Amino acid sequence: MTQEQEKAAQEFYEENGYWVSDIVFTAEEVAEMRAAHDRIWTLDYDGDGFPLWEWKPDDKPNRLRKIDNAWWINDVVKNAVTSPKLGKLAANLMNSEEARVWYDQVIYKPGTGKGEQTSAGNVGWHQDYMYWQCTDTTNLVTAWVALQDTDLNNGCMSVIPGSHKWGLLNSDGFFNEELEAVKRQMEVEAKPWREEPLILKAGQVSFHHSLTIHGSRQNFSNDPRLCVVGHYFPKGMAYEKKQNVDNIRLLGPRPKQGDLFNNEYFPLAYSASEQA
């Protein structure tokens, strides 16, 4: 991207709370990430580690599956979420010299076919920062990598433009499939609520602010909707004792307020000084 394009992306993101890139990952790289999905869901891991957290409701095949910190167990995912080309885009949107990985996710939204509309596989409206209140900033950004052409038919993510300016709202809705109920919980009736579906080609990436409200609906296709997600934070982000979050324990056995999230568990995806 040119400096003019980077500035335009920043301005759009600051105003709307999201931004969509051009193609970032090649068809070959997308195919590798889809193959990584297949391996991960069959527990074929690289190394002898395990992910940070797993949600895989085997008794309900139409439910969403999600794993956090797949970079610990799969080298393809690690290379994707730590890639400088993704990190640089994230750093630019955060207006930071650096971008570090907060954690990643691989998400599998099953296809339900052309049946009737249900809540199966929905991701409830939520703000990522609801789950990240151990940080001293809300200036974190999420990068959502499409591993197939993604639209309303197969359950693309939708965002509420401008909602990152509304502050932290009353919702814990990721796993609540009833989107209208979550919307009522968030008490946004007086807000300018407009759902913007993020239509992506395979290899494109959407970015959204940690306070941007987002969610997704049913996948009506016959195939699963796959994605790899990287969450990033800017240079100098530190621990603030407000909420118990899994990532706090990655600071060590006795974390203290003000400790920087800058060890090996939060790998550097981009540094302007290293690229100079």
* DSSP string over 33-67: HHHHHHHHHTT--SSS---SEEE--TT-TTS-EEE
What's the pLDDT tens digit per position in 36-51?
Answer: 999 999 999 998 888 8
Q: What is the pLDDT of residue 177?
A: 65
Q: How do residues 133-190 score in pLDDT, each as one tens digit?
A: 999 999 999 999 999 999 999 999 999 999 999 999 877 666 666 677 777 777 788 7
For residue range 107-133, list pLDDT tens digits in order.
Answer: 999 898 876 666 667 788 899 999 999
Angle at 27 between CA 43 and CA 205, to 5 degrees: 80
Domain enclosing residue 234, as ranges: 3-275
Residue 57 banded pLDDT, cuts 50, 70, 90: low
Place of tokens 């527990």: 43
- Rounded CA Rg of the chain: 18
Question: How many domains does the chain fold into?
Answer: 1
User: Residues 182-198: pLDDT tens digits?
Assistant: 777 777 887 898 999 99
**Cβ-proximal residues to 98 (8 Å cutoff; 6+ apart), any chain:** 91, 234, 235, 268, 270, 271, 272
Distances (CA, A) of 126 to 147, 150, 186, 240, 275: 22, 20, 9, 21, 35
**pLDDT level of residue 104 (50, 70, 90 thresholds):** very high
Torsion of CA 260, 262, 264, 267, to 10 degrees: 140
| CATH code for position 172 | 2.60.120.620
Q: Rounded CA gap, 146 and 228, in Å?
A: 7
Indicate if the alpha-carbon torsion angle 215, 44, 251, 255 is positive or negative. positive
What's the one-letter identity of residue 183? Answer: K
| Alpha-carbon distance values, 86 to 23, 218, 219, 234 (Å) | 11, 28, 26, 14
